[in-house]
Amino acid sequence: MWIVKNRKIFYAVSIILAVASFVSVAIWGLNLGIDFKGGSILEVTYIDNKPEVNVVSESIAPLGLESTVREAGTDGYQIRMRSISEEERVSVEQTLTEATGAYTVKRFNSIGPVLGSEAARKSVTSLFIVLLAIVLFITYAFRRVSEPVSSFKYGLITIVALFHDVFIPTGVFAVLGHYQGLQVDTLFVTALLVVLGFSVHDTIVVFDRVRENLKHDRENKHNQSFEKIVGDSVGQTFARSLNTSLTTLFALVVLYILGGEATRSFSLALLIGITAGTYSSIFIASPLLVTVQKWQEKKKSK
């Protein structure tokens, strides 16, 4: 099977991408949204007399709210500020009315810094709990296939693949955050969790086939090599893995294009993550089974 045979090439691709992601996060960090950092966003639209950007930004600058103004759509602005109090919000709106005339508030959102750091903590906690639950579940689900690779290792390999799936979208968001100002919010974390779920789902389907073929092989005493069995299993599930990912990616592409601003970066994170997840289930997770088995053999022969 070409996938298992050429596994080193596929590992290399993944390692390069994962390292690149790691480096971009290390250099630029993530551009955290107000859900995590605390802060305020005021989005306003003007009916027919939209003022210039600098009129808006200069009018509220004296209030000292660390405000930045950017265009939102064709008829409005988005103003980001530090976390502001109710009184400060009223004065921003008044100042804005005086300087720019009538407008409507499309959206206002203010999150205190305490709430923000709590959201960050919860997000990290849930990521780790999902990872842990998955290892345990896989160890349990594959408990009957401990030869030649123990079921616990199936779980560990899944985790390696999952880290890969989470690293890559995070890296892309670090790059986009630096160059495009794309922010990471709680929905991004949700997207990562879904990617975890989806990727495990995918990996399990392939592992399940390995489990079935191993059993079949032993019952019929074919004594095929583990490498061959894994290779065949990947081949047999290849069409299914690709097709399920395709239908999901279709849905996501549609969502990305037509789903509106509110879920755009969410669908982008999912698109990247699910692509990475599909890749890792086919090209990383199963070949890793073979690699692990080879290591074990080497150790034994020593």
Interface with other proteins (CB under 8 A), residue from 23, 29, 250, 297: 250
Interface with other proteins (CB under 8 A), residue from 9, 15, 16, 257: 257
Shortest distance (Å) from residue 17 CB to other proteins: 23
**Helix, strand or coil, per DSSP, at residue 84:** coil
Shortest distance (Å) from residue 209 CB to other proteins: 7
182 touches other proteins by CB under 8 A? no
Interface with other proteins (CB under 8 A), residue from 62, 262, 300, 301: 262
How many CB atoms neighbour CB 275 within 10 A?
A: 18
115 touches other proteins by CB under 8 A? yes
219 touches other proteins by CB under 8 A? no
- Are the CB atoms for 45 and 76 separated by under 8 Å? yes
List the end-to-end C-alpha distance of the chain, in Å, as a whole number: 28
168 touches other proteins by CB under 8 A? no
3-state secondary structure 134-185: HHHHHHHHCCCCCCCCCHHHHHHHHHHHHHHHHHHHHHHHHHHHHHHCCCEC
- Between 69 and 196, name the residue whose CB sits nearer to other proteins: 196
Which residue from 29, 25, 189 is spatially nearest to 121, judged by alpha carbons? 189
Shortest distance (Å) from residue 81 CB to other proteins: 13
Kindly list the distances between the CA atom of residue 234 and the CA atoms of 30, 107, 266, 286, in Å, as whole numbers in the listed order. 36, 49, 30, 7
- Between 196 and 282, name the residue whose CB sits nearer to other proteins: 196
- Phi, psi torsion values for 110, nearest 5 degrees: -135, 130
Q: Where does this chain touch other proteins (CB under 8 A) — which range of 20-28, 175-183, 237-245, 285-293?
A: 237-245
**Measured between alpha carbons, how far is 32 from 186 in angstroms, rounded to an integer?**
10
200 touches other proteins by CB under 8 A? yes
Interface with other proteins (CB under 8 A), residue from 106, 139, 152, 232: 106
Shortest distance (Å) from residue 151 CB to other proteins: 12
Strands 104-111 and 68-72, sheet pairing: unpaired
Sign, CA dihedral 247-250-254-255, equals positive
190 touches other proteins by CB under 8 A? yes
Interface with other proteins (CB under 8 A), residue from 7, 153, 164, 209: 209
- Between 23 and 133, name the residue whose CB sits nearer to other proteins: 133
